[in-house]
Chain A
Amino acid sequence: MGELIVFIIFATVALVSAIGMVLAKNPVYSAIGLLGAMFSIAVLYVLLDAHFVAAVQVIVYAGAVMTLFLFVIMLIGVDNREAYGPAVPAQRIMTAVVSIGLFAAIVLAGRAAWITGSNAFGTPDLNGTIENVSDELFGTWTVVFLSTVMLLTIAALGTIALAYFGTDVPDEEATL
């Protein structure tokens, strides 16, 4: 019963914040709405006994990603309307139709059976989920863990390449 009450409260907060994020005119309010949604989803993860995911949700999304968003908002300027360009006619209506359509399609498709009978999920050991996650991360998923190294390298390289505003000096000797 207690769980249900917590779920109802935070599911409501998540929905209201998400809707507020989309509807808010001021980008800072949007950012705060996003923050609220992310925190409430972290609480929902705790309810599902996924403590590690909940912690990651708070650290990565509410921490790092939100900071990034706020930096971007500060760089563009809170009141800078021109930065967004002219609105496309009927954009809101089109967005609403597409989102509601996709949502309806998934709900209709999943109405009868969400999980179609797989036995791949074992029963998770609830004591020490962090140890279990690290076992998986550095055991089964080592290759994935290592290949994200390439992604991070590319992020750094791409930033250096794109942030360079000087004039490129052609290298005549390099021409083959």
Chain B
Amino acid sequence: MGNASYLAVAFEGILLIGALVVLLVAVVAGRSRAVWAPIAGASFLLAALAGVLQWIEVENGGGGMFFSAQNLQVIKSPMVVLDGFSAMASIVLGLVGFTAMLGSWDLVAKVGKRSAEFVALSLLAFAGLHMMAATPNLVVIFIGLETASISFYVLAGFIRADVKSDESALKYFLLGSLASALFLYGIALTFAATGSLTIYGVNSIRDFFSETVVSDPGILLVGMALMLVGLMFKISAAPFHQWAPDVYQGAPSGAVGLMAAGVKIAGFAALGRIFVGGFISQIDTWGPIVAVIAALSMVIGTTMALVQTDMKRLVAYSGVAHSGYLLLTLLAGVEGMSAMWFYLATYPFMIVGTFAIISTVSGPTSTSSPIEAMRGLSRRSPEMGWLLAIFMFGMSGMPFFAGFVGKILAFIAAGDAGYIWLVVVATLTTVIGFAFYLRVVATVFSGEDDDTTMIDPTLSSRFAVVIGATVTVVFGIVPWILIDVVRDALPL
């Protein structure tokens, strides 16, 4: 094992050390003052830097599989894989985590003594999220999924004084546990059918498909279907989306950006790793199912978002629709992965920025945020008003914003895969979607002139929103910078 094997787990290592340092500092220096801002920020930035180093290593041909079974000449059951896919996941998760932590900082300051737990849980959650993208082993994917999910259940219920926060956490926990159990059952049945838990290496799932004529894949189909359901739940794709609006609304506003963005990235990374990396030869089987789920997500997400009166529920339903657009990229197989990473490198920043603004307007511990609260925001806090408009344009897919390029790439991917009807559905829902995004923008820029309750955003949320808006605008105007990079973000 050379240095590359340490580099392959550097992201998880840095965040784990960061979390432990936060806890140690909390014990040694006292819990009364939240001094862990620099530690949390540095951990996320260092983790992103490790991602850049991983990327360079992969570009120089240093990628590969690590931590495989000992004393063997062949690579058998590797536990960690270093490729463009996992390096890209490090960079994106590190930067999104950094921005989301800035957006959550108002909440961290509000929870006082418990802020060390909040920061440590967030750091560990992101380590778990990256494990889902960087391992070829289904068991490790499950452990990463649980690490992240359990942290997020706690974050959703962090405000104990608010019954809605409790309800949100319990709902998330019960439904999330069911989804995790289904995913685990899927792993077990896949193991029964293929005799392997790993995607790469000797005796892997891929080997199984290349060596065996699968004449009667019954159990394999059930296993794949259950794993699909488990992950679809996590990314809140319809019809497994019912938890998302309730959980987003009930969770403290300051924590939702972190949860929503992180789970989207890792959920799709795991879907790409398992289904495009492992089950690519079965794409004719799972492709149509994913296509139907994508269509349902786009239609249900868009139509339900039209009638929402709460900002957080609106973003939740728009997230369901975005899961649909993201699923289009899976249908194109390996060719779709770069489109997926373009989407995942831009859309989460819009979520994080939007929730930083919601948290500023309604308060970081609030559990509801009516759209009406945004009325006149362009005067009460000009920068927040304008930047919220940018995020809404970005999510809606307006040209010259990153969301437009992401959607176009996803549509092209689905079109190349032959799903023309799906592209038609996607285009229609995008057009309908403009209605509710523009309604928010209209609310922001309307209102009586005498309503002058000014909002003074904190420095941390300003930073979060500005970073998010910069990503949204820059990659909307000069997308080819990012397109050139994500072209190499492919699974091994």
A residues in contact (CB < 8 Å) with B: 105-106, 108-121, 139-144, 147-148, 150-151, 153-155, 157-158, 160-162, 164-176
Contact = CB atoms under 8 A, between A and B. Distances in A.
A158 B125 CA distance: 12
A171 B115 contact: yes
A113 B217 CA distance: 8
A147 B144 contact: yes
B212 A171 contact: no
18 contacts: A109-B218, A109-B219, A110-B192, A116-B216, A118-B194, A118-B196, A147-B144, A148-B143, A150-B16, A150-B124, A151-B143, A153-B120, A154-B125, A154-B150, A165-B160, A171-B109, A174-B37, A176-B460
Interface stretch (B151-159, B264-272, B292-300, B428-436): B151-159
A161 B121 contact: yes
Contacts of B127: 150
Nearest to B154: A158
- Chain B interface residue number, banded: 35 or more
A171 B76 CA distance: 51
A100 B76 CA distance: 38
Contact of A171 (B34, B143, B161): B34
Interface of B: 9, 12, 16, 19, 23, 32-35, 37, 67-70, 76-77, 79-80, 102, 105-106, 108-115, 117-118, 120-121, 124-125, 127-128, 131, 135, 137, 139-140, 143-144, 146-147, 150-151, 153-154, 157-158, 160-161, 169, 189, 192-196, 203, 208, 212, 214-222, 458-460
Contact of A140 (B35, B77, B124, B214): B77
A121 B196 CA distance: 9
Given A114-B192, A171-B115, 19 more contacts: A110-B218, A116-B194, A120-B208, A140-B68, A142-B67, A144-B137, A144-B139, A150-B16, A151-B150, A153-B19, A157-B120, A157-B154, A161-B114, A168-B113, A174-B33, A175-B458, A176-B105, A176-B109, A176-B459
A106 B222 contact: yes
Contacts, number: 173
Contacts of B32: 171
Given A106-B219, A116-B217, A142-B67, A150 B128 contact: yes
B128 to A, nearest CB: 6
Give the 10 A-B residue pairs with the shortest CB-CB distance, closest first. A118-B195, A109-B218, A174-B34, A120-B195, A176-B460, A158-B154, A143-B79, A161-B117, A174-B109, A169-B112
A105 B128 contact: no
A115 B79 contact: no
Contacts of B160: 162, 164-165
Contacts of A174: 33-35, 37, 105, 108-109, 115
B462 to A, nearest CB: 9
B46 to A, nearest CB: 18
Contacts of B68: 140
Contact of A151 (B110, B113, B147, B157): B147
B458 to A, nearest CB: 6
Contacts of B169: 162
A35 B23 CA distance: 38
Contact of A116 (B37, B80, B203, B220): B220
Contact of A157 (B121, B137, B219): B121
B143 A144 contact: yes
Nearest to B16: A150
Given A164-B113, A165-B160, A173-B33, A153 B216 contact: no
A169 B146 CA distance: 31
Contacts of A144: 79, 137, 139-140, 143
A121 B197 CA distance: 12
B143 A161 contact: no
B147 A176 contact: no
A173 B108 CA distance: 11
A175 B107 CA distance: 9
Contacts of A110: 192, 218-219, 222
A120 B80 contact: no
B22 to A, nearest CB: 10
A91 to B, nearest CB: 14
Nearest to B111: A168
Given A106-B189, A115-B192, A120 B143 contact: no
A113 B106 CA distance: 56
A168 B79 contact: no
A44 B367 CA distance: 49
Contacts of B192: 110, 114-115
A116 B112 contact: no
A84 B160 CA distance: 21
A170 B110 CA distance: 4
Nearest to A142: B67
Contacts of A171: 32-34, 109-110, 112, 115
A172 B110 CA distance: 8
A34 to B, nearest CB: 16
